[in-house]
Structure 1
Amino acid sequence: MEPNGQVTDRVRDEVRAAVEDRATWLYLILKELSKDGKIEEIPEVNRAIFKFGQIKGAKMPPTGTPGEWARNLISPVGEKVFVQRLVKGDDDEAVIEFSYCPLVEAWRKLEASPEETALLCRMARCGDHGRIAAFPLELTFEKLLAEGDEVCRLVVRPHKEKRL
């Protein structure tokens, strides 16, 4: 990062490479655990990824609104790494879009099939759900790069039953 707070391309590329490494580990572990070389969803892995998200979420500042949660999530590094932007962020709804995902890029480089890529993405999203679990909010994904969309679109709304 530059002294002026700007994220350099070098930092962006290094963070992307680190995230791609994590995606590669997940892919290779699941390939090794498969019976016939076909990746399958494993509930224990999903739970572990969810717990990872909970650890990350516990480090976020407390909030009860979608907009505030989204603004806390987005960082200058994240904006550059994921080509991320806050489309909407108020008390009723937050919409975050990003047009690059190092996880999806890693799986494609490993020649994962489109079905495997979508499955791996679904498993990785357990971390996002874990991150938001401690908040009175709910997260949905309206679009996914892993499923061929131009962006990933995350939508955060107040949870109907959970309140602070």
Structure 2
Amino acid sequence: MTDAPEITLEQLSGAYAMRAKFYMHMFDVLREEFGPEKTIELMGEATYRLGAEMGQKLKPHGPANIEALTEQFLAGIPCRDHLFAPELRKCDAEGMEIQFHRCPLKDNWEAAGREGEELEMLCRAAGAIDAGMFGAAGFTFKGETWKPGQTGCCRLIVEPGPVAVE
């Protein structure tokens, strides 16, 4: 078995740029066919499913170990300070709140000239990934995506989830 090559920040940024372009083009194609609300619904469902798949690795912490969830989640963000600049505002048994001050998807959409309501719609569609991830891990997700007039990007709010009844 050989060692995996080290990924550079430039390569990772390029991968996020490609993902942002895919979302943007998919958004445009679906909006032309179905209108904006159905587009957000369809893209949101797809990103929610991706998040639910990603959330399986966080499931051992659900439904209530917020501290361990937060630690694993933040540790798993590649180049987190440079690409996302997360600010941990709260982390206790009651819940977790993280404000992202950057997002490589949003940065790329803005660089492509997307702004205002259109940028908000792209963020809503892509942001469903977080609801899928934390929901699949057993937590309650109450986060918010970026809206015009706000600085930064998404705000993640996660609370303990319901205990499964056997």
| Cα distance between partner residues in 1 of 2:103 and 2:13 | 8
Q: Partners of 2:32 and 2:25 in 1: how far apart? A: 13
The alpha carbon displacement at 1:110 in A equals 1.3
Query: Equivalent of 1:124, from 100, 121, 126?
Result: 126
* 4+ residue runs over 6 A deviation: none
User: Structure 2 stretches of 5 or more lacking a match?
Assistant: 1-6
Q: TM-score, normalised by structure 1?
A: 0.78
CA distance in 1, matches of 2:131, 2:11: 25
Residue 123 of structure 1 aligns with an amino acid whose one-letter code is: A
CA distance in 2, matches of 1:148, 1:102: 19
* Matched residue count: 152
- Structure 1 unpaired stretches of 5+: 1-9
Counterpart residue number, 1:58: 56
Q: Corresponding residue for 2:70?
A: 70
Q: Which amino acid letter does the alignment assign opposite residue 67 of structure 1? A: E
Q: What residue in structure 2 maps to residue 33 of structure 1?
A: 30
Correspondence for 1:46: 44
Q: Distance in 2 between matches of 1:74 and 1:111?
A: 30
Q: Is the 8 A contact 1:41 1:119 kept in 2?
A: no
Q: Could you say what the CA RMSD is over the residues aligned between the two structures, in angstroms?
A: 2.5
8 Å Cα contact 1:41-1:123 kept in structure 2: no
Give me the TM-score of the superposition, normalised by structure 2: 0.77
Q: Note the 1:98-113 alignment, pairs <5 A.
A: 98-113=100-115
Report the equivalent of 2:150. 149
Q: Could you say if the C-alpha distance between residues 11 and 82 of structure 1 is closer, same or farther in structure 2, counting changes exceeding 3 Å?
A: farther
Report SS of the residue matched to 1:163. coil
* Mapped partners of 1:35, 1:143: distance in 2: 23
Equivalent-residue separation in structure 1 for 2:109 and 2:135 (angstroms)? 27
